[in-house]
Amino acid sequence: MQRTYPHIPFERYADDALCHCRTQDEAEDLKAALARRLAECRLEIHPSIPKIVYCKDDDRPLEYPCIGFDFLGYTFRPRRSKNRWGKYFINFSPAVRNKAAKAIRQRVRDWKLPLRSDKDLEDLARMFNAVIRGWVNYYGAFYP
């Protein structure tokens, strides 16, 4: 990416990647170039995974079939937001992915809190604070 497409911002984590293109043509060209480059390395992209997503918001009113994606436990899609003056607008922003939120709820259920009535609040805090703090630190990054 740095050598061939230095003008396209790029994020990667393990085997997940995002490329921020300005136009659909640029995105399609990049997708084809990445497929060719991976083929040179005897790798391939799974056909259902790569997709071109339109980051729809109030400034981008066009209609496209795909307007959201999941990345690293977050779902990025158009959402209603409020500016500092209290006015609502549509913003392309992240939130906890549904699958991740479901896993968090299941983990809390697995703690069987109603059966721990013999514990003090301090004991429960010692038992679960590290896990809860991790969730808050990770998923609260965009909304402190």
**Do 33 and 86 belong together in one domain?**
yes
24 lies in the same domain as 81? yes
Interval 77-97: pLDDT, tens: 999 999 899 999 999 999 999
Q: Burial letters for 67-81: b for 16+ Cβ neighbours within 10 Å, e otherwise?
A: beeeeeebbbbbeee
Q: What angle do CA 63, 50, 135 make, to 5 degrees?
A: 90
Q: Both 85 and 117 in a single domain?
A: no
- On whether both 73 and 127 belong to a single domain, the answer is no
pLDDT band at residue 42 under the 50/70/90 scheme: very high
Same domain, 128 and 73: no
Q: Which domain holds residue 119?
A: 98-139
Task: Kindly report the pTM of this predicted structure.
Answer: 0.80
- Whether residue 52 is predicted with pLDDT greater than 80 in this model: the reply is yes
In a domain, 19, yes or no: yes
Residue 2, in any domain of the structure: no
Residue 1 counted as domain residue: no
The answer on pLDDT for 123 being more than 90 is yes
The residue count for the chain? 144
